[in-house]
Structure 1
Amino acid sequence: MATTHQPPFGPFRPHRLLACAALLVATAAGAQSPHVVKPGETLWGISGQQLDTPLRWPEVQQRNQVGEPRLLQPGTVLYFADGRLVPEGAAVVTAVEGRASRKRAGVPEQVLTPGLPIQAGDTLITGTDAFVTLGVAGGSRVVLPSRSALEVLAIDANTVRLRLIEGRVESQVHKQQPNQQFEIRARSMGLGVRGTHFRVRDEDGVLTGEVISGEVVVQRTAQSEPPLVLREGRGAVLLESGPSQAQGLLPAPQLVPETTARNDRTFRFTPVAGAQTYRLQLARDERFLLPVYEQRGPGPSFTVPAELPSGLYQLRLTAFDAARLEGLPGDGTVYLPTVEGGAGGQSTSTALPDGRVEVRWPGIAGQRYTFELARSPDFAVLLVNEPAVYATGMTVGPFALGGRYHWRARQATPDGAASAATGFGGSFDIPAR
């Protein structure tokens, strides 16, 4: 196997999942396409890829105001061309998981990809098991989970106005200047915020607003009623006629301590008094700007399917009360172990006489898969990254170093991305020499 050279900054470390850097958007004409940072990438490697030489990494660092280059965060958007670094008339998609698209009048529907600019008049739509993160002025982020639709009404350096058509939207808004406005509309309501983390949900015929931190002012667009102020830890079912009543949100469910020590994918938690159902979410970062999976059920446990690749994840649990308000989040770091066989059948790893290893998985012949090999279960640094495998097996090696190697094969979507919904994984050991 070819030797893998480490850049001077070293690999991405999963225990250093920190808040994403502020979004910086170049608006100069003819600007080079932005780059959305992936796990394990460094300024050294990105500069070599985008600027033909890794020696220009200080230039990229300065232009994008990156602090510590070894802590480059997944989802950060980097720009390489000169020009104003202030969003003007557009936002940027910073992360996509699964199938999501953009609709714009007079333009064919377009699949969302990281780095794609979003303008007023655009509508973002997420499919089943899909998530989109949108970066807007000042480093604020908007996360659109599965089966949701969001219209961009206005967006520039001073105004962000969005309309939730259906589903859910979760916003993390940085503290703004007095002349800046951030508002999410849903039905006949407008929710204006400043320096806050909140959710708006229009699901199963019920419209709710829930504030995790900060403050939200809810006002009917007709302004026939006085505004409702939702403060930290409170929410309300938002009624289109009659007054809406704020109430406290349920506390966060707590994981049973020994559940994280078990080598399985079932996470058990202590039931919350008054809870009717629960939601589990998994993400690649602590701020949940890179979500990858969720499920909802009665509890008091959730089992994550084998199709989701093994590795470290951030886990979030919430409880729903009888009014269907979603409670405060309980977050933690968990590890998903490898499950041999993936979606069905059995995966195998067979050592060959020449020192190579043949890996096979129970996939579909002729289907395209992405195949990855790494030394660590989080796949932070890839030794093999093959995006187009039209088979159900790969031969890798020979290996210069002994130890455990981890692999995963995921079904490729029509646009070439890897799907977390259909995948296989495993590991094998190479004897030390």
Structure 2
Amino acid sequence: MPTNDIKLRLRRLVACAGLVATAAANAQAPHVVKPGETLWGISGQQLSTPLRWPEVQERNQVGEPRLLQPGTVLYFADGRLVPEGAAVVAAVEGQASRQRAGGAEQTLTPGMPIQAGDTLITGTDAFVTLGLTGGSRIVLPSRSALEVLAIDATTVRLRLIKGRVESQVQKQQPNQQFEIRARSMGLGVRGTHFRVRDEDGLLTGEVISGEVVVERTAQATTTASAAPAEPPLVLRAGSGAVLLDNGPSVARGLLPAPQLLNETAQRSNRTFRFSPVPGAQTYRLQLARDERFLLPVHEQRGPGPSFEVPAELEPGFYQLRLTAFDAARLEGLPGDSTIYLPASAGSGTAGQGTSSVLSDGRVEVRWPGVAGQRYAFELSRSADFAVLLVNEPAVYATGMTLGPFALGGRYHWRARQATADSTAPAAAGFSGSFDIPAR
């Protein structure tokens, strides 16, 4: 064979090996969606062109691209490192690790696959989010440990060793099973949002939405006259129970969510006040980077009715969640709000908001407000709002996505709390502006 032909074949082999290595690298590097990202922008970053976003949508079974959720794990190669039915680390905040039997402890990183036999451990101020095929998510907060007993296309079985685990489980098919075990209890679910806590010697289960069935996983069988098995306990939305090792557990209603005071969301310091909940003994505050709390970054517990967020957290917009604990130490329903953390206590001014130009030309506007509150939103080319481009009298949100814009220049926006009484004075609002490059 001529020498030139041999060299040509070698070059082709090297090129093919490079393509295989590149594909393998892509398979090992799934992308975890961050707040504000779009398939258009992600495709441009990962695949060198935004025009391939339909491929990303189809490969990852994304339904509505405009509703892309933070924490979603996207793959870009045809061969996935994580088999169908397995789990992957969607997000990590702080120090967290994975322990495998007979193996060394490994630091958790986004995109890492999780399999049966793994034990996940979070340190102080650390949070881990697991993504499962089908859209289910599991959040492991600070000072917690969770063992993966089984995980495949039909079964997810986890064991809470200590701490807490919060699950957002998509509706299960008839042949699918999702269960969390803790001590001698097994909690099976069918499409629900719920918490399991083993803290300070107390085991509890609390259901925010959906339904959970609690059964004992081990019954006394030492004698023939052993007592019959207890009937399962059904926990429905808005209820919880202290799960007893001995004796029946009783479902009870959860405390309502604490309400963040409106003026607190607009203040320029890091102290957040809320209305006390009758019957509450203590409260918990959590902060996350996304509305579903799949990207938590901070939590603290105290007597209320206020919390001060530490200066270590970066300034910017966050989702704030408040819950109340009753006398039985059950954690109540969550109350969520969008808040803004200034650079330091006492800096900034009330009424500030932010706007960011997305990679597809649209603009995301956000303001610190209370979730579920109505806001009147206006957009104009002039600072006096003489001519309105957008006039939404009742927006049930704390942000708007606008555009794309055909004309360049400066745009002005403002949002204020909407009132049922049109003659009432306008509430203090939020405002800002953004610039669109001329074409």
- Common fold: TM-score over 0.5: yes
Decide whether aligned partners of structure 1 residues 47 and 122 sit closer, same or farther in structure 2, where only a CA change above 3 A counts.
Answer: same
- The answer to whether structure 1 residue 197 and structure 2 residue 200 are counterparts is no
Number of matched pairs: 326
Deviation of 1:62 after TM superposition, in Å, equals 2.4
**What do you get for the CA RMSD once the two structures are aligned?**
2.8
Out of 277, 280, 297, the residue aligned to residue 275 of structure 1 is 280
Out of 241, 245, 254, the residue aligned to residue 250 of structure 2 is 245
Map of 1:114-153 to 2, 5 A cutoff? 114-153=110-149
Q: Per the alignment, in what secondary structure is the counterpart of residue 138 of structure 1?
A: coil
Out of 278, 285, 291, the residue aligned to residue 290 of structure 2 is 285
- The answer on whether the counterparts of 1:281 and 1:291 sit within 8 Å (CA) in structure 2 is yes
- The answer on whether the counterparts of 1:191 and 1:218 sit within 8 Å (CA) in structure 2 is yes
CA distance in 1, matches of 2:343, 2:25: 47
Deviation of 1:379 after TM superposition, in Å, equals 8.2
Structure 1 partner of 2:15: none
CA distance in 1, matches of 2:267, 2:237: 35
Out of 102, 105, 108, the residue aligned to residue 106 of structure 1 is 102
Deviation of 1:189 after TM superposition, in Å, equals 0.5
CA distance in 2, matches of 1:378, 1:309: 17
CA distance in 2, matches of 1:340, 1:271: 24
Structure 2 partner of 1:427: none
Q: Per the alignment, in what secondary structure is the counterpart of residue 42 of structure 2?
A: helix
Q: Which has the larger radius of gyration?
A: 2
Map of 1:334-349 to 2, 5 A cutoff? 334-339=339-344
CA distance in 2, matches of 1:267, 1:341: 13
CA distance in 1, matches of 2:291, 2:30: 23
Could you tell me which runs of 5 or more consecutive residues in structure 1 were left unpaired when the two chains were aligned: 1-27, 343-375, 383-400, 403-433
Decide whether aligned partners of structure 1 residues 241 and 379 sit closer, same or farther in structure 2, where only a CA change above 3 A counts.
Answer: farther
- The answer on whether the counterparts of 2:270 and 2:345 sit within 8 Å (CA) in structure 1 is no
CA distance in 1, matches of 2:121, 2:28: 27
Map of 1:313-332 to 2, 5 A cutoff? 313-332=318-337
CA distance in 1, matches of 2:55, 2:133: 23
Sequence identity, in percent? Answer: 83
CA distance in 2, matches of 1:115, 1:84: 11
Deviation of 1:207 after TM superposition, in Å, equals 0.4
Deviation of 1:47 after TM superposition, in Å, equals 3.0
Deviation of 1:380 after TM superposition, in Å, equals 8.5
CA distance in 2, matches of 1:162, 1:221: 13
* One-letter identity of the residue aligned with 1:284: R
- The answer on whether the counterparts of 2:26 and 2:76 sit within 8 Å (CA) in structure 1 is no
CA distance in 1, matches of 2:26, 2:60: 18
For CA contacts below 8 A with separation 6 or more, give which structure has more relative contact order.
1
CA distance in 2, matches of 1:380, 1:210: 40
Could you report, residue by residue, the CA deviation over 1:17-46 in whole angstroms, capped at 9, with x for unpaired residues?
Answer: xxxxxxxxxxx9993531212344443443
Map of 1:28-107 to 2, 5 A cutoff? 31-67=27-63, 69=65, 72-83=68-79, 87-88=83-84, 90-107=86-103
* One-letter identity of the residue aligned with 1:326: E
Map of 1:221-240 to 2, 5 A cutoff? 221-223=217-219, 224-240=229-245
Decide whether aligned partners of structure 1 residues 67 and 215 sit closer, same or farther in structure 2, where only a CA change above 3 A counts.
Answer: closer
Structure 2 partner of 1:359: none
Structure 1 partner of 2:309: 304
TM-score using structure 1 length: 0.70
- The answer on whether the counterparts of 1:210 and 1:235 sit within 8 Å (CA) in structure 2 is yes
Structure 2 partner of 1:417: none
CA distance in 1, matches of 2:64, 2:192: 26
CA distance in 2, matches of 1:338, 1:100: 27
Structure 2 partner of 1:294: 299
Q: Per the alignment, in what secondary structure is the counterpart of residue 134 of structure 2?
A: helix
Map of 1:147-162 to 2, 5 A cutoff? 147-162=143-158
Could you report, residue by residue, the CA deviation over 1:124-148 in whole angstroms, capped at 9, with x for unpaired residues?
Answer: 1000001111111311111100000
- The answer to whether structure 1 residue 206 and structure 2 residue 202 are counterparts is yes
Could you report, residue by residue, the CA deviation over 1:1-31 in whole angstroms, capped at 9, with x for unpaired residues?
Answer: xxxxxxxxxxxxxxxxxxxxxxxxxxx9993
* One-letter identity of the residue aligned with 2:181: R
Q: Per the alignment, in what secondary structure is the counterpart of residue 104 of structure 2?
A: strand
- The answer on whether the counterparts of 1:164 and 1:184 sit within 8 Å (CA) in structure 2 is yes
Decide whether aligned partners of structure 1 residues 339 and 175 sit closer, same or farther in structure 2, where only a CA change above 3 A counts.
Answer: same
Out of 144, 166, 177, the residue aligned to residue 170 of structure 1 is 166
Q: Per the alignment, in what secondary structure is the counterpart of residue 139 of structure 1?
A: coil
Out of 264, 280, 283, the residue aligned to residue 269 of structure 2 is 264
CA distance in 2, matches of 1:332, 1:157: 35
Q: Per the alignment, in what secondary structure is the counterpart of residue 105 of structure 2?
A: strand
Structure 2 partner of 1:364: none
Deviation of 1:52 after TM superposition, in Å, equals 3.9
Deviation of 1:286 after TM superposition, in Å, equals 1.2
